[in-house]
Amino acid sequence: MAGERPGGVPPVVLDAMGGDHGPAETVPGALSACREHGVPVTLVGRAEELHRELGRYGGLGEVGVVHADGVVPMAERGAGAAAQRTSSLMAGCELARRTGGPFVSAGSSGAVVTCAVRAFGRGEGVVRPALAVALPTLTGSTVLIDAGGTADPTPEMLARFALLGASYARAVLGVADPSAGLLSIGAEPGKGNRLVREAAVRLANLPVRFHGNVEGHDVLAGVVDVVVTDGFTGNVVLKNIEGCVRTTLELVARAGIAPPERLAEVARLYTADTHGGAALLGLNGTVVVAHGSSAATAIARACVVAADLAAGSPPVSDRDVRTARSSSAR
Amino acid sequence: MAGERPGGVPPVVLDAMGGDHGPAETVPGALSACREHGVPVTLVGRAEELHRELGRYGGLGEVGVVHADGVVPMAERGAGAAAQRTSSLMAGCELARRTGGPFVSAGSSGAVVTCAVRAFGRGEGVVRPALAVALPTLTGSTVLIDAGGTADPTPEMLARFALLGASYARAVLGVADPSAGLLSIGAEPGKGNRLVREAAVRLANLPVRFHGNVEGHDVLAGVVDVVVTDGFTGNVVLKNIEGCVRTTLELVARAGIAPPERLAEVARLYTADTHGGAALLGLNGTVVVAHGSSAATAIARACVVAADLAAGSPPVSDRDVRTARSSSAR
């Protein structure tokens, strides 16, 4: 098994059976993280299959393998198969908790959330963890939260995602006093579906700089540091952005007004290969959820992001926010 | 008042007080529809203010004015002020019903739906009307429905939006047997929030070619002819696309790899100036809802679209679909 990296963070634990492609992409991804980025990785999954894949890349002995029998199907939403101790997902979470290493999976978001909560436990004061992803905007970066963790949050959960997102913006993007906007269908207060209208009332009373509602066109405009939404809308928006950037660049390419290889530079800003997946915030541990369709490059990137988050001070609790705010004497 | 247009469709009735800018944009928009596109328009709103604006453009007498005192605030969601007979919105709907002309408003979508249902009544078999917009894709066009009419539909309403969307795709895009996808957070059956999971079961039993779930990145890829979603998600996605296209093109412009004026051609594909707003389907009348932020060009375009829809055979009922399907002997 690979040793501790220089920064003192134990190896990244990777759910090798997760994602649409399983070991065919997770194994070369782990090797790339290790070889090209110096990030040690431990693979969790069917040992025989993993050793065979490692052998194909001449990588036997370069990354550790811990055997786990079960595979959680991508269609799995919650408990069920995912909760079985023998699944690579659950076994991986348990291993990461024991070793203190960051955990990465490209499995079904809902199943990852279920297992990660069970293994790591929630941070102090956290009602529900949420997936955060930092998106490049015209002015810097915006944190989108929840990007797919909880499809049906309560208004209280939704409001409190703002605290996790602000904590992330502070820790990872270095924004001193992040603003948070609630994603809705009109800027005016009172606009939205029932969930958003009830969450808005609660959000206004939380210790975070609440901007009010933002709309779909504000997400990439950099209007706020944190865009707060439920996991259903957030996941649709995240994937919509990926598709929309692709389509727009394809239309530009077809118009023959820009060299395709230069357009690819812009495209890369919004692919999982670059952002490396979403961080699951609010747990007593570092967890990164990669896109289900992740190829090796995206898996490698997710491992690097996880190692960086674990080496820094990832926000594990919305308590950080309250502490920071009360000490700034607002 | 302007006379009937050649095609025999009465003048477009325009809620002149609707939208973020009111008469400052609706009046020049109406004049542009009339002068440049040959579409007669009747303005409904505060007569004194409208005549003053018309005077500024030398347009007195070119378009008709029908006085209405009240203005529905953009923050208005449902009944309340909107339902008052005296509002330009409600008075406009009533006038359009009486004359048989198409109706256009840039007012709050929720308020327009409330008033339009009251004035025109629902088409046969329609549980809830929905807003449809045709988006250009890499392969043609996709109908997004509901783009903001009902923020909290029931599963039954959501499923039946597929019928209205298919009817629109057939009538306006000329697709013989449109496919419909349910917007969700995973392609696998059973993925989604509660609303989507329940709607999927119902949709599978409706007389429409149900593709299954589609995801955010599929919307502009042209995977299906109709993307079915609730009015909250649909509105967020529609505006997200607008913002995302803008941001992507701005990043390309900043990279200095394409001439800005050529990029503007791509940008125009996804602005309200081009698509002209969303058609409110499922009513016994033609109703187009323009973007609240519409400038004169977008208002003019919405009037032209409304006139075209009314002149053709706009789908007013999901009965069309059932009839078409049963006669095609599938």
Give the residue from chain A lying closest to B183, CA to CA.
A236
A262 and A299 in one domain? no
Q: Is the pLDDT of residue A234 over 50?
A: yes
Residue B328: band (very low, low, confident or very high) from pLDDT cuts 50, 70, 90? very low
The more confidently predicted of residues B266 and A142 is A142
* Nearest-angstrom CA–CA distance, A270 and B210: 30
* Nearest-angstrom CA–CA distance, A187 and A79: 37
* Nearest-angstrom CA–CA distance, A119 and A129: 13
Q: What is the mean pLDDT of residues B63-72?
A: 90
**Cβ within 8 Å, pair A239-B216:** yes
B213 and B116 in one domain? no
- Least confident span in A82-91, B23-32, B104-113: A82-91
* The pLDDT value given to residue B94: 96
Residue B85: band (very low, low, confident or very high) from pLDDT cuts 50, 70, 90? confident
* The pLDDT value given to residue B266: 84
Residue A173 CB neighbours (<10 A)? 15
Q: Which of B241, B252, B263 has the CB atom closest to A244's CB atom?
A: B241
Give the residue from chain B lying closest to A195, CA to CA.
B152
Give the residue from chain B lying closest to A230, CA to CA.
B193
List Cα–Cα distances, A227 to A47, A171, A239, B146, in angstroms.
41, 16, 15, 23
The strands making up B103-105's β-sheet, listed across from edge to edge, are: B64-67, B41-45, B12-15, B103-105, B287-289, B278-281, B130-136, B141-145, B226-228, B179-183, B209-214
Structural domain of A46: 1-126+282-330
Domain boundary among the residues A256, A274, A292 is at A274
Q: How many residues does chain A have?
A: 330
A303 and A265 in one domain? no
A7 and A119 in one domain? yes
Mean pLDDT of chain B: 87
List Cα–Cα distances, B25 to A223, B14, B110, B277, in angstroms.
25, 12, 21, 15
Residues of B in contact with A147 (CB under 8 A): none
Is the Cα torsion angle A118, A120, A124, A130 positive or negative in sign? negative
DSSP A234: H
- Backbone phi and psi for residue A133, each to the nearest 5 degrees, phi listed first: -135, 140
Residues of B in contact with A218 (CB under 8 A): 243
Q: Is the pLDDT of residue A206 over 70?
A: yes
Q: Residue type for A310, please?
A: A
List Cα–Cα distances, B58 to B17, B31, B35, B62, B232, in angstroms.
20, 10, 12, 9, 41
B93 and B2 in one domain? yes
Residues of A in contact with B249 (CB under 8 A): 248, 252
| C-alpha neighbours within 13 Å on the C-beta side of residue A189 | 8
Q: Which of B184, B194, B244 has the CB atom closest to A220's CB atom?
A: B244
Q: What is the mean pLDDT of residues A283-292?
A: 92
Token look-up 């006038």 returns B95
Mean pLDDT of chain A: 87
Q: Is the pLDDT of residue A7 over 60?
A: no
B148 and B72 in one domain? no
* The pLDDT value given to residue A9: 75
**Cβ within 8 Å, pair A217-B148:** no
A247 and A148 in one domain? yes
Token look-up 């040959």 returns B38
Q: Is residue B298 part of a domain?
A: yes
List Cα–Cα distances, A253 to A157, A262, B140, in angstroms.
42, 10, 17
Q: Which of A196, A219, A263 has the CB atom closest to B240's CB atom?
A: A219
* Nearest-angstrom CA–CA distance, B181 and B203: 10
CB A184 within 8 A of CB A155: no
A113 and A14 in one domain? yes
Residues of A in contact with B274 (CB under 8 A): none
CA A226, A232, A238: angle at the middle one, nearest 5? 55
* The pLDDT value given to residue A84: 67
3-state secondary structure of B215: coil
Could you tell me how far CA A3 lies from the centroid of its own chain? 25
Residues of B in contact with A247 (CB under 8 A): 137-138, 220-221
Q: Is the pLDDT of residue A95 over 80?
A: yes
* Nearest-angstrom CA–CA distance, A287 and A273: 17
A85 and A163 in one domain? no
* The pLDDT value given to residue B77: 57
Distance to chain A for B330, nearest Cα, Å: 31
Q: Which of B148, B216, B269 has the CB atom closest to A243's CB atom?
A: B216
Q: Is the pLDDT of residue A258 over 60?
A: yes
List Cα–Cα distances, B304 to A69, B39, B93, B287, in angstroms.
62, 6, 18, 12
Distance to chain A for B131, nearest Cα, Å: 14
**Cβ within 8 Å, pair A237-B242:** no
Residues of B in contact with A215 (CB under 8 A): 236, 239
% pLDDT > 70, chain B? 87
Q: What is the pLDDT of residues B231-268, one digit of tens each?
A: 999 999 999 999 999 999 998 998 888 888 888 888 88
Q: Is residue B327 part of a domain?
A: no
**Cβ within 8 Å, pair B232-A233:** yes
* Nearest-angstrom CA–CA distance, A12 and A287: 10
* Nearest-angstrom CA–CA distance, A293 and A290: 8
List Cα–Cα distances, A135 to A131, A139, A173, A275, A303, in angstroms.
13, 11, 11, 8, 18
Q: Which of A108, A196, A255 has the CB atom closest to B266's CB atom?
A: A255
* The pLDDT value given to residue B86: 82
* Nearest-angstrom CA–CA distance, A252 and A233: 28
Q: Is the pLDDT of residue A288 over 50?
A: yes
Q: Residue type for A167, please?
A: S
3-state secondary structure of A144: strand
B177 and B39 in one domain? no
Count of domains observed in chain A: 2
The more confidently predicted of residues A78 and B121 is B121
Token look-up 């004194």 returns B48
Contacts of B26 (CB under 8 A, 6+ apart): B14, B15, B16, B17, B18, B19, B43, B45, B106, B296, B299
List Cα–Cα distances, B191 to A75, A96, A290, B235, in angstroms.
7, 27, 17, 21
Domain boundary among the residues A238, A256, A274 is at A274
Q: Is residue B329 part of a domain?
A: no
Residues of A in contact with B221 (CB under 8 A): 243, 246-247
Q: Is the pLDDT of residue B62 over 70?
A: yes
B134 and B106 in one domain? no
Q: Is residue B218 part of a domain?
A: yes
Q: What is the pLDDT of residues B111-140, one digit of tens each?
A: 899 999 999 999 988 999 999 999 989 888
* Nearest-angstrom CA–CA distance, A133 and A175: 15
Residue B82: band (very low, low, confident or very high) from pLDDT cuts 50, 70, 90? low
Residues of A in contact with B193 (CB under 8 A): 151-152, 230, 232
Q: What is the mean pLDDT of residues A37-66?
A: 95
**Cβ within 8 Å, pair A244-B191:** no
* Nearest-angstrom CA–CA distance, A307 and A292: 20
**Cβ within 8 Å, pair B237-A238:** no
Q: What is the mean pLDDT of residues B291-316?
A: 82
Whichever domain contains B98, its CATH number is 3.40.718.10
% pLDDT > 90, chain A? 65
SS3 per-residue string spanning A203-218: HCCCCCEEEEEECHHH
CB B303 within 8 A of CB B287: no
Q: Return the CA Rg of chain A.
A: 20
* Nearest-angstrom CA–CA distance, B220 and B168: 18
Q: Is residue B325 part of a domain?
A: no
Beta bridge mates, B303 = none
- Least confident span in A24-28, A76-80, A256-260, A319-323: A319-323
Q: Is residue B320 part of a domain?
A: no
Q: What is the pLDDT of residues A21-47, one digit of tens each?
A: 999 999 999 999 999 999 999 999 999
Contacts of A85 (CB under 8 A, 6+ apart): A91, A94
% pLDDT > 90, chain B? 65
* Nearest-angstrom CA–CA distance, A208 and A182: 12
B275 and B140 in one domain? yes
Q: Is residue B324 part of a domain?
A: no
Q: Which of B109, B240, B251 has the CB atom closest to A237's CB atom?
A: B240
Q: What is the mean pLDDT of residues A315-328?
A: 37
